[in-house]
Structure 1
Amino acid sequence: MLKKSPYTAIFILLSILMVSACSRHSIYDTAIGYERSAAGLEADMITVGELSIAYLKNAEANEGDTIVLVHGFGANKDNWNRIARELTDDFNVYVIDLPGHGESSKPLDLGYRIEEQVGHLARILEALDINEMHMMGNSMGGGITALYAATYPEQIKTAVLFDPAGILDYENDMVGMVLAGDNPLIPSKPGDFERLMDFAMEERPFIPWPILSVLEEKAIANQEVNKVIFAAIKEVGITSDFRDAINRIEDPVLIVWGKEDRILDYRNGEAFQQAIPDSQLVIMEGIGHAPMIEAPEESARLFIEFAKARILKAS
C-alpha cells in the first residue's frame, strides 16, 4: 500500500514525468493521484439532486469512526490530503468538494450563505449515508462545521475548527485589502495564486511549477463563482445570528488557530471559545491560516488526543 510512502517519492515521480515531456495537466493529474493514494484515499462522485459532488474517501474501509473534512473558501478536497495521511489507518475519512468548489457543480444561483452551505452539506452526507461523524473544517469550512454542529447535534461526535470564519471581532490586513477592492483570496491573473499561498500560509509547502501553474489556472477559471460565494459569506462575521447559533452547540469542540494567520486574526479564537460552551482553544505558533496543511502531523495529534479524551469523559 502506498499510504506511508514519503512525499519525496512524489517529486521523484514528477522529475521523471517532466523529463518524459508530459503535459502540465498530465503531471498535475499524476501527482494529485499519487498524493491521494499516499494518503489512503480514492476519488468518487455522487449525484445529489441536480448537483454532481466530488469527494475522497478511504481506499480501504476500516472499523473506526467516520471523519468528514470541510475545506475553506476557494479551496477543495485536496487541501486535506496531508492530514488525511495521519488518519486513514484508524478512521474512515470523507473529504467533500462543496458545491461551487473543486470538481463539484458550480451553479451561480445555488445560494452560498453559511447556513445554506450547511444545508447543502447535510444533503450530501445523507446521500452518502453518513449520519454520525467527527467533523473538521478550515476557514469558511470551520464556520460551516460550527453551524452544522449547532444544527445537527445528534450527528456530531466531535468538531474541530481550524481558523474558522464566522466571528470577526478582530480584523487584520485582509479586511482593508478587500475594502480597497484587492481581494487576495480570489486570483484573477497570473501571479495571484502564488501571492494567495504566501498570504495564507506562514511557510507554504513546496509545490513544483507544473502543479502550481495548473492550480493557478483552475483558480482563475473559478473567479466568477468565487466572487458570488465570497459576497454570500462575507457578512457572517458582522451579525449576531452566527454567534447566537453556535452558542447552542452541545458537542465537544476543539478550536485550533495559527498565530500568524493573516486572513482571520487568531484573537478571534477567544471569541469562538467564549461563544461555544465547553470548547477548547489551541493557538499554534509559527502557523498561518491552514494548520492542516502547514502542520498536518501536529493537527492530527491534537484532534486524536481531544477526541479520545472527550469520548472517555462521556463514557
Structure 2
Amino acid sequence: MTSTSRLPVVLFLLITAILSGCSRQAIYDTAIDWERSAAGLEPDRIAVGELDIAYLRNKETVDGDTIVLIHGFGANKDNWTRLARELTDEFNVYAIDLPGHGDSSKELDLGYRFEDQVQHVARILDALDIDQAHLMGNSMGGAITALYSATFPEQVRSAVLFNPAGIFEYESELVELVTEGDNPLIPKESGDFDRLLDFALEKRPFVPWPILGVMEEKAIANREVNQVIFAAIRDTGFESDFRTAIREVPVPVLVVWGKEDRVINYRNADLFVEAIPRSTKVILDDIGHAPMVEAPKRSAQLFRDFIGDSKR
C-alpha cells in the first residue's frame, strides 16, 4: 500500500480519535501504533547495562536475514517504519532508538562521539543476541554504520549508508546556518519542528497536525541532550581519521544519497566510495536528507538489488 493509499485509513483513525475526545498524545499514540503495526513491527525494550533501550522488531519472526536500522541525529526508530514495511515479510528487522534519542535513556554524560556510539550499538546488539546482520544507517547513523562495519566486520553482512555523516569536504546549507549560530536541526520553540522537516526533507510525507504538534513537543523537550550530541558529533575528531577507518570496511557497502540534501552535500558520496573498497553509490533526484522516509519503496528495492548483486 502506498503512502497515498494509506492516507484515508490514517484520516479515519484520526477523525475517530478526535470525535471520541482523545488528547493529542492519544491521537499521536494511535497513529504511531498503526504505522508500526502496518509495517509488521512491535515495540520492545531491553536493559543494556545502565541504559534502557527502546526498539522495534518484527511481530512475527521470518526465515530470513536480520536487518538493523540506525537512525540519524535527533531522529528515532520510527523514521524507519515505512521502509521496514517493505522488508518485514523477508527479513527480521530491528529499528533501535540510540541512547539520547526517542524512548531510550538520555544521559547527558554518556559520550556521543561516533566511536562512542559504535560501542553503544555493539552493546545493544550483544544484548539482543544479534551476531550478524545487514546494517542501514541514515546521517549520523550512516557514520556509525560505516565505523561499525570497520570495527566489527565479522558481524556485518552488508551496509547501506543513507546520506551519511562523517565526511564534509563539500559544505552544505546546514554548515552556513550553524556557522551563523542558527541550527535548524535543534527545535527550540513553536514552529521550529515544521521548519526542520522542510529543511531536511525534499519530499515531505503527510503528517496530520495533532501528530506534528506532539512531535514538536518531544523535539523541544530533547533540546538539551540534542545540543550535547550535536557538539559531540561536531568535535568527534579529525575527518581524516574517519576516512582512514572506513578504508578498512571489508563488506559490500551501498551509499544512497538524495541530491537535494541541505544537511550534508550529496557530492560527499564520491568520497565515501573512494574510501570504502567494496562500495557503490546511487544518487536520487528530488530526494532530500532521508531517502528511507521520502522514497521507502525505492530504498527497499535498492537494498534488495544490492544484496542480490553482492551474492553473485
- In structure 2, the partner of 1:29 is 29
User: Offset at 1:236?
Assistant: 4.4
- In structure 1, the partner of 2:102 is 102
**Is 1:168 matched up with 2:168?**
yes
Question: Aligned with 1:168: secondary structure?
Answer: coil
**Is 1:227 matched up with 2:227?**
yes
**What is the correspondence of 1:1-315 to structure 2 with a 5 Å cutoff?**
6-236=6-236, 239-311=239-311, 313=312
Question: Aligned with 2:199: secondary structure?
Answer: helix
Q: Which runs of 5+ in 2 are unaligned?
A: none
Letter in 1 for 2:198: D
Taking every aligned residue pair, what percent have the same amino acid on both sides? 65
Are 1:167 and 1:236, in contact at CA under 8 Å, matched by a contact in 2? Answer: no
Are 1:56 and 1:94, in contact at CA under 8 Å, matched by a contact in 2? Answer: yes
User: Offset at 1:7?
Assistant: 4.5
Q: Cα deviations across residues 22-70 of structure 1 (Å, max 9, x unaligned)?
A: 1000000011001000000000000000000000000000110000000
Question: Aligned with 1:240: secondary structure?
Answer: helix
Q: How many pairs were matched up? A: 308
Q: Cα deviations across residues 216-245 of structure 1 (Å, max 9, x unaligned)?
A: 000000000000000000134852111000
Q: Which moved more, 1:278-287 or 1:230-239?
A: 230-239
Q: Cα deviations across residues 198-220 of structure 1 (Å, max 9, x unaligned)?
A: 00000200100000000000000
Distance 1:132 1:7, change over 3 A: farther
CA distance in 2, matches of 1:238, 1:178: 19
Q: Which moved more, 1:302-311 or 1:112-121?
A: 302-311
Are 1:167 and 1:272, in contact at CA under 8 Å, matched by a contact in 2? Answer: yes
Question: Aligned with 2:248: secondary structure?
Answer: coil
> TM-score, normalised on structure 2?
0.97
Runs of at least 4 residues off by over 6 Å: none
CA distance in 1, matches of 2:288, 2:48: 34
Q: Which runs of 5+ in 1 are unaligned?
A: none
Are 1:75 and 1:101, in contact at CA under 8 Å, matched by a contact in 2? Answer: yes
CA distance in 2, matches of 1:201, 1:239: 26
CA distance in 2, matches of 1:230, 1:88: 32
CA distance in 1, matches of 2:106, 2:6: 34
Are 1:168 and 1:237, in contact at CA under 8 Å, matched by a contact in 2? Answer: no
CA distance in 2, matches of 1:222, 1:281: 33
Distance 1:111 1:188, change over 3 A: same
CA distance in 2, matches of 1:289, 1:238: 23
Q: Cα deviations across residues 83-103 of structure 1 (Å, max 9, x unaligned)?
A: 000000000000000000000
